[in-house]
Amino acid sequence: MGLRAATIIAMEDWSGIDTVLCDLDGVIWLAHQPIAGSVGAIARLRASGRRVLFVTNNSAAVEADNERALGSVGIDAVGDVVSSARAAAQLVEPGARVLVAGGPGITEAVEHRGAVTVLNDGRHEPDGFDAVVVGLHRDFDYHRLSVASAAVRAGARLIGTNTDSTFPTPAGLLPGGGSILAAIATASGTTPVIGGKPHQPMADVIAELVGTADRPFDPDSVLMVGDRLDTDGLFAQRIGCRFALVRSGVTPPGADIDTPVAADVADLAAVADRLTRSTR
């Protein structure tokens, strides 16, 4: 049987937590349909004086679209969404020529980095690439696989936004960006480097956003909320903060876990209940 750590450390003091990092898919919504209680939970966390950042491995959308989607369900998120596309772009050198095997979020982030992007449309390019950046996109096919893997075999660096094999929807799990990345890695015989959770580039982005010159990043003041142990949980371990596992996404209710967590609860509303009861 897996360790149900929440029952062991349920009395841990959370009064010092002033920043909450929330995953999106499986925590806030499923295919942009809000999970019950999530919108109110964000409002309560902010009303308690805590900062909320939305940290997602979904790299498909541009930042403004993520902000608009959250706004449409009642969550003001302008400037508060951090995607794995931004983290992966940190692995690209300015001026590099990059093949994008992913959505417009990757193109936006890589171009903001100062690189030149070419969208992988399945047609072979005469010029080479310095990097291939891979994320979730729903038009991936054999021709796009051929172009991306050929670019990597020719010397391009293979960069993944994330390794999530699936992502949750109201109808169940669908293939994630990590499944596409695995196909390209296998076809090219190359091990990719990864930008998003739980890897260091995303940790560096969060430390820069949360920390200030007057107050460096303090992991003891941060809580990560997510639905996956293999990304969100390991990301919390990497940055040294507490982790609350919610059972509203990839990890179903009742499934055994073998990783210590600060809380193992049904959903974000339960996390907000716990935090707002903590005296600051």
* Lowest mean pLDDT segment, chosen from 150-159, 201-210, 249-258: 249-258
Cα–Cα nearest to 165, from 182, 179, 185: 179
Q: Catalytic residue, from 13, 18, 23, 227: name it.
A: 23
Question: Which residues are CB-neighbours of 224 under 8 A, at least 6 positions away?
Answer: 21, 55, 232, 233, 235, 236, 239, 241, 242, 243, 244
Query: Omega of the bond prior to 198 within 30 degrees of 0, cis?
Result: yes
User: pLDDT tens, 62-86?
Assistant: 999 999 999 999 999 999 999 999 9
Name the residue among 279, 277, 264 with its Cα closest to residue 2.
264
Assess whether 230 carries a catalytic annotation.
no
pTM: 0.90
Write the CB contacts of 68 (distance below 8 Å, at least 6 apart in sequence).
Answer: none
Closest CA to 100 of 144, 64, 63: 144
For the cut 90, the answer to whether the pLDDT of residue 5 exceeds it is no
Q: Which of 25, 80, 164, 267 is catalytic?
A: 25
Q: Among this protein's residues, is 23 annotated catalytic? A: yes
Enumerate domains of the chain plus CATH numbers. Answer: 5-57+198-277 (3.40.50.1000), 86-194 (3.40.50.1000)
pLDDT band, residue 187 (cuts 50/70/90): very high
Radius of gyration of the chain (CA): 19
- CA separation for the pair 138, 275 (Å, rounded): 37
